[in-house]
């Protein structure tokens, strides 16, 4: 049972202040100790010891545009801002690699991947349409025409269990989207919108997707999700009425499951009524922490 959220615990010291110091970043790039994250399109390489692969930084500063990720173990870390990477978004191979990575290594990858993907899809100024350039050591883009500064997006997503009943009678609502692998169910989720609190987004999504009204929304955990760049915010909310009205444009099916059924699913019991989300997904953490409150 994974209680530490996936993609968290990165050893990266982002050294944010250094991003403003062009000379310092250039010196770190020239440092023979500096390392570049190995990526093939957006796919990471695993070393024999199961960690992320890094290589030395190219000498010619014009060869490839780099972003300064920060430092790990005192060594400057960079990633190449390769254009045209956004074609590869997700693949079975990618998720096999992520499954094999420790959460902390996956967290470093998440930061790099979200940043590279954002640059690849944000070469132009949304304010005036001009081509923009990289600034802040890769953590922003500047428009030379209108002067607008643009920073990488992080889209907050709420993901939640509605709970009906208490104690050993408690059940939570799980659902499956049409594209899920056979048998897989997860917590319901949706993007938080402008003008909403976390608690309001949780209540709205549960009402929209499953027709239920909730109260007492309780924060449980968070994680980054780099496909392309979400902040997953996991919550539990209580409902007094378990009747469902499913929005079938969002969900193929939704159902209530007991604590024992969730425990069986997380334990990989073949008699469990559903297959759980993978350990690196916050929904897995959410199920685990909810069970741990027993």
Instruction: State which residue, 221 or 237, has the beta carbon closest to a copy of itself.
Output: 221
Shortest CB 237 distance to a copy of itself, Å: 14
Instruction: State which residue, 122 or 184, has the beta carbon closest to a copy of itself.
Output: 122
Instruction: State which residue, 7 or 287, has the beta carbon closest to a copy of itself.
Output: 7
Helix ranges restricted to H, 52-102: 92-100
Instruction: State which residue, 122 or 255, has the beta carbon closest to a copy of itself.
Output: 122
Closest CA relative to residue 203, chosen from 193, 192, 215: 215
Instruction: State which residue, 194 or 270, has the beta carbon closest to a copy of itself.
Output: 194
CA angle centred on 110, ends 133 and 123, rounded to 5°: 20
DSSP element (H, E) containing 133: strand 133-135
| Contacting residues toward a copy of itself, per CB under 8 A | 5, 7-8, 10, 12, 14, 16-17, 107-108, 110-115, 118, 121-131, 139, 148, 150-156, 191-200, 204, 208, 219, 221-224, 226, 229, 231, 233, 247, 249
Instruction: State which residue, 174 or 192, has the beta carbon closest to a copy of itself.
Output: 192
Instruction: State which residue, 155 or 260, has the beta carbon closest to a copy of itself.
Output: 155
What is the torsional sign of CA 68, 74, 75, 79? negative
Shortest CB 261 distance to a copy of itself, Å: 27
- Non-local CB neighbours of 110 within 8 Å, separated by 6+ positions: 7, 10, 224, 225, 226
What is the torsional sign of CA 249, 255, 259, 265? negative
Shortest CB 126 distance to a copy of itself, Å: 4
Shortest CB 233 distance to a copy of itself, Å: 7
Shortest CB 28 distance to a copy of itself, Å: 18
DSSP string, 69-108: EEEETTEEEEEE--TTGGG----HHHHHHHHHS-HHHHHH
Shortest CB 79 distance to a copy of itself, Å: 11
Residue 83, beta-bridge partner list:
none
Alpha carbon distance 213, 95 (integer Å)? 34
Q: Is 73 in contact with 119 (CB distance < 8 Å)?
A: no
- For residue 139, give the 3-state DSSP assignment: coil
Helix ranges restricted to H, 171-280: 198-210, 259-266
Shortest CB 203 distance to a copy of itself, Å: 11
């Amino acid at each position: 049972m994974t209680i530490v959220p996936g993609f968290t615990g990165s050893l990266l010291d982002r050294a944010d202040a250094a991003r403003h110091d062009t000379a310092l970043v250039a010196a770190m790039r020239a440092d023979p100790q500096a390392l570049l994250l190995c990526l093939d399109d957006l796919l990471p390489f695993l070393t024999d010891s199961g960690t992320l692969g890094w290589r030395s930084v190219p000498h010619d500063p014009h060869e490839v545009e780099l972003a300064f990720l920060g430092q790990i173990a005192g060594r400057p870390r960079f990633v190449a801002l390769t254009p045209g990477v956004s074609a590869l978004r997700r693949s079975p191979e990618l998720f096999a690699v992520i499954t094999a990575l420790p959460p902390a290594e996956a967290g470093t990858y998440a930061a790099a991947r979200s940043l590279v993907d954002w640059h690849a899809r944000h070469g132009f100024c949304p304010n005036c349409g001009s081509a923009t350039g990289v600034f802040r050591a890769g953590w922003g883009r500047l428009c030379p025409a209108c002067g607008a500064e643009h920073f990488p997006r992080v889209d907050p997503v709420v993901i939640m269990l509605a709970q009906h009943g208490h104690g050993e009678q408690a059940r939570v609502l799980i659902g499956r989207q049409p594209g899920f692998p056979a048998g897989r169910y997860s917590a319901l989720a949706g993007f938080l919108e402008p003008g909403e609190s976390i608690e309001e987004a949780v209540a709205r999504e549960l009402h929209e997707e499953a027709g239920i009204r909730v109260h007492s929304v309780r924060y449980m955990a968070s994680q980054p999700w780099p496909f392309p760049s979400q902040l997953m915010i996991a919550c539990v909310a209580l409902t007094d009425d378990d009747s469902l009205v499913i929005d079938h444009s969002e969900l193929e099916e939704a159902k209530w499951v007991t604590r024992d059924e969730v425990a069986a699913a997380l334990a990989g019991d073949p008699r469990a009524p559903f297959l759980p989300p993978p350990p690196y997904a916050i929904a897995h953490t959410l199920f685990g922490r909810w069970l741990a409150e027993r």
